Chain A
Amino acid sequence: MTDEELKAEVTAWLAANWRGAPPRTERFGRDPRAEWLAKVRDAGWAAPRWPAQWYGRGLSDAQARIVENCFAEAGAPGTGQDRSNLWANTALAHASETFKPQIVPKLLAGEVGMCLLYSEPGAGSDLAAIRTRADRVEGGWRVTGQKVWTSGAHIADYGMLIARTDWSAPKHKGISFFFMPMRQKGVDVRPLRQITDESHFNEVFIDDAFIPEENLLGNLGGGWGVLQTALAYERSVMGDAARGARSGAKEAHGDAALLELAREAGKLSDPVVRQDVAQVIAWRMLNSLNTRRAKAELGQGTSSSIMSLGKLAMSRILHEEGRVRTELLGPESLLQGPDHPRAEDANFLSLNAYFTSIGGGTDQIQRNIIGERVLDLPREPEVDRDVAFSTVIAGR
């Protein structure tokens, strides 16, 4: 198919089908646009780079981009999931042949709510130190342990879980990766109140919960590798965008909004404000240029080191934009609540910036990863890296 034919087909399909969809205001849980997303999936536009067997069209990166542009022009969501849907990509790459057909279509349509069951009270940055255990039983696994900071667990159908299946192996090597059904006895979700006064993340107490055999992703004991795939998608999504307003609207921050705020505040002619606003917008622009170049390089088959930088860049952007917005508002930033939306946004952004600078691996860990994996600097010595995990915990 030529580029023109493809463009014509997508445009015609959108014209015939796109009638709008309810907004997605919650980042977690089932997607309110599921009906539309199912249509996109069934037409082959959800993940056009994927093979037809998996609802795709086997398109090249360049052609997939044409699809994405058509959707963007129409304002229609749902395509590009072969790049952005962390759950579906992880499942496609690693789920068993039994489980894949059950879960992948649902993930593409947002028909299941998902969460990430990685962090534990004793294992945050040091994720390989998890102590949640999964023990083999007839037909599957039994899981016991505690997870924490689990965003969206309260409205999730499945959790992507890492649990220890081999205690005699070194810490990275005894971990397995599962899709755990969340709605079962044995999974107790308790919301935690966040500094933003929202409750999106939770503690999850797991007591003898069951996971069917086919829900293991990758090999037994190969969970660390699967996790790297999932983390890479998560971090790349976090480097692309972040929630800048309580409403969940992505656009409440961003270039136009920041300029507009400076104008409204009557400070757009102030030279210092101009410098500050320019810097934030420049960082944002540089980040998206980096991302674009990284994707192009990936499309050409070369792996790009720039990909790892986006999340760190976004963290800096968000913290700085929070500061600049606060400064623009002056005394108004002392307020909060629905009657003071601009203050609410500035304060929310300033606090929620930690979602990006701590969540998904902290800035400090992100810098270690860039230093070690991208720049090939020597590794930080890790005393318990190659020791059987049972020995490690006996020593603590």
Chain B
Amino acid sequence: MTQVMTHEERTALRDSVRRLLADRCAEADVRRLMDTDTGHDAALWRALADLGVAGMLVGEAHGGSGLGPVELELVMEEIGAALSSAPMISTAIAAKLLDGDRARALAAGELIVAVAPLGAWDWTGQSAVRISNGRAQGVARFTPDGQIADLALLAGEDGVYAVERAAFTATPLPVFDRTRRLADLHIDGPVERICDGSRVAGALAVGLVALAGDQAGGARRVLDFTVEYARERRQFGRAIGSFQAIKHMAADLLLEAESATSAARHAAAQLAGDGADREVALALAGFACADAYVRCAKDGVQMHGGIAFTWEHPAHLYLRRARSGAQLFGDSRHWRERFIQALEARS
């Protein structure tokens, strides 16, 4: 049974994540991780697990808190705003696919799981894994968190298969966005079928909502620091925010950022409640949040001028993350098409 939080409880959860990230995932921490091989902060992940975040979607019977997409989305807004590399999207998807001891270990933050969607779910269009007679062989491409995974899940229409660490090697990819690491998984070895394919769609929908939350949070953060700069930076004897060219861009970006937040939260609510608008809402979040984030980050750079063309300024970190999120799990064209298909199906 999914637990439902009160508004106060949700706010408290979000605030505790925000405080933790402000403390442990400041810009300097993000940059330090960007320069490491794995990009992973094990101590921060343990701290998030202690807050109950790693296990938030795991059922109470397995040591989790049995929460749903609505709370996940809120937490992801914070993770996205902080550019955290915490493997939360992978963990959220895995929580919907794992049971028993593995779910328990996942909730405790002790097991990091990478999920590779296959077949019709393969958003990369480039993965090729053959599974037969209890063995799998092939490659799963662009897998988030693959480089730190203790376990991989192959999620296809005909079932979900667990691959232990010994049966795959992860090749970290040279990614443009160093805050979100991806790896190619080269799989060759025994697999264990853990459930049938019917759970996959729901699990991946959770991942999509998580990503949408990340995007909404990132878009909002870029807007906030850009507007703050526009208030302070002076040229021609006035704050640049007093120029309509800047003020109007800021207003447009607010519309984008708020729309992203609405889309992400609506998708979360629909998914949680199994609402009639579920497919429409998910597809909408699939492109609206990505597009809004890219626009906020792009215009954010422009609104800063030369300072944002430097590596030391955070704006490009958001632009990179916005661009990577806009490819992950399918691009905007894909989701716009899914959106209109869902609309057609509904009418």
> A129-B235, A330-B331 in contact; A364/B306 too (CB < 8 A)?
no
Q: Which of A148, A197, A334, A384 contacts B173 (CB 8 A)?
A: A334
Rounded to whole angstroms, the CA-CA distance of A368 and B302 in the bound complex is 16
- Say whether B238 faces chain A, with CB atoms less than 8 Å apart: yes
Rounded to whole angstroms, the CA-CA distance of A326 and B333 in the bound complex is 12
Q: Which of A125, A272, A336 contacts B176 (CB 8 A)?
A: A336
- Say whether A16 faces chain B, with CB atoms less than 8 Å apart: no
Give the chain A neighbours of B323 by CB distance below 8 A: 326, 333, 347, 350
Mark B213-252 against chain A: 1 for CB-CB distance below 8 A, else 0: 0000000000000000000000111101001011000000
- Say whether A291 faces chain B, with CB atoms less than 8 Å apart: no
Q: Of the 9-residue stretches A90-98, A138-146, A248-256, A337-345, which lies at the interface with chain B?
A: A337-345
Would B327 and A334 count as touching, CB distance under 8 A? yes
Give the chain A neighbours of B301 by CB distance below 8 A: 195, 354
Give the chain B neighbours of A339 by CB distance below 8 A: 174
Give the chain A neighbours of B315 by CB distance below 8 A: 195
Give the chain A neighbours of B125 by CB distance below 8 A: 330-331
Q: Of the 9-residue stretches A23-31, A229-237, A238-246, A355-363, which lies at the interface with chain B?
A: A355-363
Give the chain A neighbours of B65 by CB distance below 8 A: none
Q: Which of A192, A331, A347, A382 contacts B236 (CB 8 A)?
A: A382
Nearest residue (CB) in A for B332 is: A327
Rounded to whole angstroms, the CA-CA distance of A367 and B248 in the bound complex is 14
Give the chain B neighbours of A126 by CB distance below 8 A: 235-237
Q: Which of A124, A149, A363 contacts B302 (CB 8 A)?
A: A363
> A195-B310, A327-B333, A333-B323 in contact; A384/B237 too (CB < 8 A)?
yes
Main secondary structure of the interface of A (DSSP, over half): mixed
Main secondary structure of the interface of B (DSSP, over half): mixed
Give the chain A neighbours of B123 by CB distance below 8 A: 331
Nearest residue (CB) in A for B311 is: A193
Smallest CB separation, A319 vs chain B (Å)? 8
- Say whether B100 faces chain A, with CB atoms less than 8 Å apart: no
> A363-B302, A392-B237 in contact; A331/B309 too (CB < 8 A)?
no
Give the chain B neighbours of A333 by CB distance below 8 A: 176, 323, 327
The residues in A between 375 and 392 inclusive whose CB is less than 8 angstroms from any CB of B are 380, 382-384, 392
Give the chain A neighbours of B245 by CB distance below 8 A: 364, 367-368
- Say whether B175 faces chain A, with CB atoms less than 8 Å apart: yes
Would A383 and B302 count as touching, CB distance under 8 A? no
> A358-B305, A382-B236 in contact; A334/B243 too (CB < 8 A)?
no
Q: Which of B236, B302, B324 contacts A125 (CB 8 A)?
A: B236
- Say whether A259 faces chain B, with CB atoms less than 8 Å apart: no
> A192-B310, A194-B309, A382-B236 in contact; A335/B302 too (CB < 8 A)?
no
Would B310 and A331 count as touching, CB distance under 8 A? no
Would B302 and A334 count as touching, CB distance under 8 A? no
Q: Which of B175, B235, B311 contacts A194 (CB 8 A)?
A: B311
- Say whether A119 faces chain B, with CB atoms less than 8 Å apart: yes
Would A331 and B141 count as touching, CB distance under 8 A? yes
Would B173 and A335 count as touching, CB distance under 8 A? yes
- Say whether A306 faces chain B, with CB atoms less than 8 Å apart: no
Nearest residue (CB) in A for B249 is: A364
Would A197 and B311 count as touching, CB distance under 8 A? yes
Nearest residue (CB) in B for A199 is: B311
Smallest CB separation, A146 vs chain B (Å)? 14
Give the chain A neighbours of B333 by CB distance below 8 A: 272, 327
Smallest CB separation, B335 vs chain A (Å)? 13
Give the chain B neighbours of A382 by CB distance below 8 A: 236-237
Give the chain A neighbours of B153 by CB distance below 8 A: none
- Say whether A351 faces chain B, with CB atoms less than 8 Å apart: yes
The residues in B between 310 and 324 inclusive whose CB is less than 8 angstroms from any CB of A are 310-313, 315-316, 319, 323-324
- Say whether B92 faces chain A, with CB atoms less than 8 Å apart: no
Give the chain A neighbours of B313 by CB distance below 8 A: 195
Give the chain A neighbours of B302 by CB distance below 8 A: 354, 357-358, 362-363
Give the chain A neighbours of B312 by CB distance below 8 A: 192-193
Mark B268-300 against chain A: 1 for CB-CB distance below 8 A, else 0: 000000000000000000000000000000100
List 13 interface pairs A-B (beta carbons < 8 Å), by A numbering.
A126-B236, A192-B311, A193-B312, A195-B308, A331-B125, A333-B176, A334-B176, A334-B182, A357-B302, A358-B305, A362-B305, A367-B245, A380-B243
**4 interchain residue pairs of minimum CB distance:** A193-B311, A195-B316, A126-B235, A337-B174
- A334-B176, A335-B174, A354-B301 given. 10 additional CB < 8 A pairs? A124-B305, A193-B312, A195-B308, A331-B123, A331-B141, A334-B175, A343-B176, A362-B302, A362-B305, A382-B237
